[in-house]
Copies of this chain bind each other. A is one copy, B any other.
Amino acid sequence: MDIRVLADPFDFGAEAQGFAARQSASGAVVTFTGIVRDTDAGLLAMEIEHYPGMTESQLTGFAEQARKRWALEDVLVIHRHGRMEPGDMIMMVATAARHRKDAFDAAEFLMDFLKSRAPFWKREITRDGASDWVQSKDDDEDALSRW
């Protein structure tokens, strides 16, 4: 299990490859990565604030819950904070399991909790100089109810 909260960019390809290469007992590896997407308003940057200490403990807790619910061999969570630009990778999760369903379900579970229960707050800065906190979505809150 590998949980990292960091300000610097991470190398998604190298992390995905390294994670998959470690899984000799697993047949299935799922990864998710979230990318800063350009918006209609023209996004200049995204800034992510977080709650040091609580962030790490929440992410670790989600990963532990996932390992209890599914037969996972390994879990990786990386999440950046600070300033990012369109195209930059915000975060990734990776799950490894013998069976693909476990790897998929656990990755979706981690993402749903990460969206609404990990203490990160996004702010979008547009090219016209406006700066707004991203609103949480009802959809994201609703997504938790299935677990």
B24, A87: Cβ atoms closer than 8 Å: yes
Identical copies in the complex? 2
Chain A residues 56 to 103 lying within 8 A of chain B, measured CB to CB, are: 86-87, 89, 98, 100-101, 103
A36: B residues at CB distance < 8 A:
27
Given contacts A27-B34, A32-B103, A104-B111, 19 further A-B contacts (CB under 8 A): A12-B20, A13-B18, A14-B17, A16-B16, A20-B33, A21-B87, A23-B35, A24-B35, A25-B37, A26-B35, A26-B37, A27-B37, A28-B32, A28-B34, A30-B30, A30-B32, A34-B100, A100-B111, A104-B108
Q: Is the interface of A mostly helix, strand, loop or mixed?
A: mixed
A20, B32: Cβ atoms closer than 8 Å: no
Residue of B nearest to A33 (CB): B29
